[in-house]
Amino acid sequence: MNVYEVITNRIITSLEAGTVPWRTPWTTSTPINMVSKKAYRGVNVFLLGCSGYSSNLWLSFKQAKDKGGCVRKGEHYTPVFFSGFYVKDRVTKKIRFAGKNEPGAFFMSKFFQVFNVTQCDGIEVPVGDAAKTEFEQNQACENVVSSWMGCPDIEHGGIRACYIPSQDKIQMPEKVAFTTPAEYYSTLFHEMTHSTGASKRLDRKGITDTIMFGSHNYSFEELVAECGAAFLCGRTGILNQTIDNSAAYIASWISKLKSDPKWVIDAAGQASKAADMIMGAAEATPEKEEE
């Protein structure tokens, strides 16, 4: 594969895993090289930022070795992309960066292999910025989370928000990483709604079956989760702020809604069942027709 295929495939893999690299409601530090202290730019911010590691510090295999550490066996690299002018040294035959007007310079795109500092042993990880340490807890939302007896384990850490069906676990970034408490709770409610689709709960195909990113079941399940989050946010008195972070699904939703107007009604119905399960309602109360 050429360099563009490597980078594009990495982005596609992230999207297929449900992570939209450029659309997250929580804050993350800009990825930087641990040795040069330079911030990565362009597509590299997305490639490194969506990889799920808690640190924003990256380094190459050689840099890790030069610092007296090593990359742990079995760890996988993350590609970073560079393009610019290079020259080939006549003696060593190695290619190095060069100025545009340097004799023999040619333009080339390359990708390099880097590792997060948390993938390494023997390297001290600097303590991050601890300025933001407080989180304004919403008691109504906390009551919803704590009162659901069948709630999966909720773990905090890293930069991904997701429900993992194989482990029946909800993964969330740290609370203080979110811009506002409402964004934290609406994101958590989104993932809690996903978790109701497990086979031992409401058994939705979008969770129990193997599905592809952008497929009918995938888009439907995302709409169910958005609606479920909206219902739970409404019941707890906070704004639902996840829909603005779902731009990747909007085009698919529009297409489905144009071809099947009943689609959103079915999704809202499934979301109501999910919200009722989370809130502890024994059964959904059917809506009456207006006379």
Same domain, 110 and 171: no
Same domain, 258 and 143: yes
Same domain, 84 and 110: yes
- Range in 82-86, 108-112, 153-157, 243-247 the model is least confident about: 243-247
List, for residues 238-249, the tens digit of each pLDDT value: 876 665 545 455
Higher confidence at residue 178 or residue 213? 178
**pLDDT confidence bin for 94, thresholds 50/70/90:** confident
Q: How far is CA 50 from CA 113, 152, 196, 239, in A?
A: 16, 24, 25, 26
Examine the fold and report which residue of 88, 121, 154 is the final residue of a domain before the chain moves on: 121
Residue 156 lies in a domain: yes
Which position has the token pair 């099947």?
260
Same domain, 19 and 151: no
Task: Please tell me the predicted confidence (pLDDT) of residue 97.
Answer: 76
Is the confidence at residue 205, as pLDDT, over 80? yes
Same domain, 97 and 23: yes
Task: Please tell me the predicted confidence (pLDDT) of residue 20.
Answer: 59
**pLDDT confidence bin for 289, thresholds 50/70/90:** very low
Same domain, 229 and 108: no
Helices 263-279/216-236 angle, 10° precision: 50
Examine the fold and report which residue of 121, 151, 176 is the final residue of a domain before the chain moves on: 121
CA distance 50 to 14: 7
Strand partners, 163: 170
List, for residues 250-265, the tens digit of each pLDDT value: 556 666 667 776 787 7
Which position has the token pair 């969506």?
50
162 Cβ partners below 8 Å, 6+ apart? 17, 18, 19, 170, 171, 191
For residue 27, the number of C-alpha atoms closer than 13 Å in the C-beta half-sphere is 10
Task: Please tell me the predicted confidence (pLDDT) of residue 160.
Answer: 85
Examine the fold and report which residue of 94, 121, 148 is the final residue of a domain before the chain moves on: 121
Q: How far apart are the first and last CA of the chain?
A: 64
CA distance 111 to 211: 30
Same domain, 149 and 270: yes
List, for residues 22-78, the tens digit of each pLDDT value: 555 555 677 899 999 988 887 788 788 777 787 889 999 999 999 999 999 999 999
Same domain, 143 and 221: yes
Q: Residue 46 belongs to what domain range?
A: 3-121
Same domain, 74 and 144: no
For the sheet with 106-116, list strands across it.
32-33, 57-59, 106-116, 78-88, 95-97
List, for residues 217-245, the tens digit of each pLDDT value: 777 898 899 888 888 988 888 876 665 54
- If one counts the domains in the chain, the total is 2
Task: Please tell me the predicted confidence (pLDDT) of residue 106.
Answer: 86
